[in-house]
Amino acid sequence: MEQKKKKKMIALIVAGVVLIGGAGIGTVIWANNSNKEDKTVETKKADLLEDVKGLELDKLYMEVKTKGNDFLKGITYDKKVVKEVLVDTSNVNYEKEGTYEIVYTIVPVDSKMDSVEKKVQIEVVSPEKAEELKKEGHDVITNETVNEDKKQEESVKKEEESKGEEQKPSTGNSNSETTGSVSSGNNSTVSGNNAGNNGSSTNTGSNTSKPSTGGNSNQGSQKPNTPSHTHNWVQQYTTVHHPEKGHNEQYVIKEAWTESVPIYENKIRSICNTCGADITGFAAEHAKQHALNGENGAHHTEVIQVQTGTNTINHPAEYGTRYVVDQAAYDEQVPAGFKCSCGATK
């Protein structure tokens, strides 16, 4: 009896040690896995920029009035790590020379990670400056390069569409059994080759999933994967016409001036016949003097005009009216939202 009791005690002690040891091992493994996951998340966050190719430059150059550039062109990334790359160009004024900033946002697949921003300077320059930069070996975005990129993009798109048509799978009759899983309305999964059920289906809830049993079936066919689309928001503009502005103003044709007009009256005057002098009022004395000199002292009368005063006339200045242009008519490109090549707007 005592030996049996000792054996039971030893068995209980061994079982306890195993359980405690197993729990300890399990705890250590869990703790190590947790630390490993945290380190993996930190590493992915630190290396997120390295998973995106095409964002190496910190500064871009663009010629003024260049429109429609695709700032996501040439940017690639690992879709297992990066969900999408967005670009914000709302701070750029394409109509005015200056230095602006565009912001790229890298969105990770892992929801535990924060998005990472990459800020890039863009200098909008004059056509003359653009030519100088080209000579120095810099790449400059112009309307010509934008149009070339669009032509190349259309060519690639057509080529991909033609390849897609050639590789499109057939959806005709299929006699092969499907071994994939089919999802029913209640999220239950039923195996495609129900061996032993002779093609019959079993109700597992309100909705029933029916597996393929041969004949006409499209459940085994797979549609070709379509690449995920990342919106490239391009600033859109609308043209606003501003009419000419001006005003009417007067100008001087002739300055003001004063005119003096003499005033004349008709008067009867006595005129000496000998010397022709006007002897009005002293004709007798004048005739006596001629007589003393042995001369004819006779005279006659005449009606003549005599200035009796002056009339002053003030003439005002003469003015004309003419139209003066204050601001010539011009067209302005006003921001009108953003548009993606897929047709989406915001």
Measured CA to CA, the distance from residue 202 to residue 205 in angstroms comes to: 9
Q: Are residues 152 and 258 in the same domain?
A: no
Domain count, the chain: 2
Measured CA to CA, the distance from residue 62 to residue 45 in angstroms comes to: 31
Residues 91, 97, 98, 104: is their CA dihedral positive or negative?
Answer: positive
Report which listed range, 9-23, 188-202, 296-310, is most confident: 296-310
> Higher model confidence: residue 86 or residue 341?
86
Q: Are residues 99 and 233 in the same domain?
A: yes
Taking CA atoms, 257 is separated from 139, 147, 202, 312, 321, in Å, by 70, 69, 118, 11, 20
Query: Would 100 be classed as within a structural domain?
Result: yes
- Is 203's pLDDT higher than 90? no
Q: Are residues 97 and 233 in the same domain?
A: yes
Q: Are residues 61 and 131 in the same domain?
A: yes
> What confidence score (pLDDT) does residue 199 get?
40
Taking CA atoms, 247 is separated from 4, 205, 321, in Å, by 122, 83, 10
pLDDT category at 240 given cuts 50, 70, 90 is: very high
Query: Would 79 be classed as within a structural domain?
Result: yes
Report which listed range, 158-162, 214-218, 229-233, is most confident: 229-233
Q: Are residues 270 and 233 in the same domain?
A: no
- Is 171's pLDDT higher than 70? no
Q: Are residues 122 and 266 in the same domain?
A: no
Which range of residues forms the domain containing residue 285?
Answer: 254-318
Query: Would 287 be classed as within a structural domain?
Result: yes
> What confidence score (pLDDT) does residue 212 get?
42
Measured CA to CA, the distance from residue 338 to residue 336 in angstroms comes to: 7
> What confidence score (pLDDT) does residue 15 get?
56
- Is 4's pLDDT higher than 90? no
List the CATH number of the domain containing 140.
2.60.40.10
Report which listed range, 4-18, 116-130, 141-155, 188-202, is most confident: 116-130
Minimum mean pLDDT range among 37-51, 176-190, 238-252: 176-190
